[in-house]
Amino acid sequence: MSREELMMDEEFVRRDRMRFIKNSQSSNLCYLGILFDVLYFVSIFKSDVGTYYYRYIIGVSIVYNLVFLLAAFLASEGVKNYKKNYSYLLIVLGVIQFIRIMIIPMDAHSAMTLVNGVEAQVMHDGQFFKVIIYLVVSGLALLAAGVINMKKCKDLDEHNKALEGMAA
């Protein structure tokens, strides 16, 4: 294949454009993951069911949410510029979102507490399913962002190597 034919190849042009445009697909998926994490956070912490949520695990959850938001936003900026290492961070954050389902939501859904002398369920079914969906969507968005960025980084690296070979 001649240089001119290669330059006109659609796949070549698509990959060549990656050198000049941002990876907005992965970045937007990061923002989606952040959005659904915030929805989870708000749903959990707007609940006022007795004193159930006044425990150390909630403090740990608040600190983790702050770290999560910072890390996910940093990763969104990193994947915009095709930085492969941020893919690993996004995959770890995505997996942790699934693990978080087993911590507060599962525990709160099965717990009972006293509210004004009456025993009440801490997290009702509706809220439970809502927060599960929030965490699942957040986790899937982050995993997809990481995997997509890895593939695009691989494609871009291969393209840059091909360009170096053509220049020689």
**pTM of the predicted model over 0.75:** yes
The pLDDT, as a whole number, for residue 45 is: 83
Q: What is the pLDDT of residue 6?
A: 53
Rounded CA-CA distance 142/30 in Å is 6
Phi, psi of 112 (to 5 degrees): -125, 145
CA–CA dist 126, 38 (Å, integer): 18
Percent of the chain that is helix, strand, coil (3-state, to 5): 75, 5, 20
pLDDT (0 to 100) of residue 58? 86
Q: Which residues pair with 118 in a beta bridge?
A: 115
Q: In whole angstroms, what separates CA 33 from the centre of its chain? A: 4
The pLDDT, as a whole number, for residue 87 is 96
Both structure tokens of 72: 């996910």
Q: Which residues in the chain land under pLDDT 70?
A: 1-8, 13-14, 18, 50, 167-168
pLDDT of residue 2: 57
- Which pLDDT score, from 0 to 100, does residue 157 have? 81
Residue given tokens 């999560």 in the structure block? 68
Query: How far is it, in rounded angstroms, from Cα 77 to Cα 161?
Result: 24
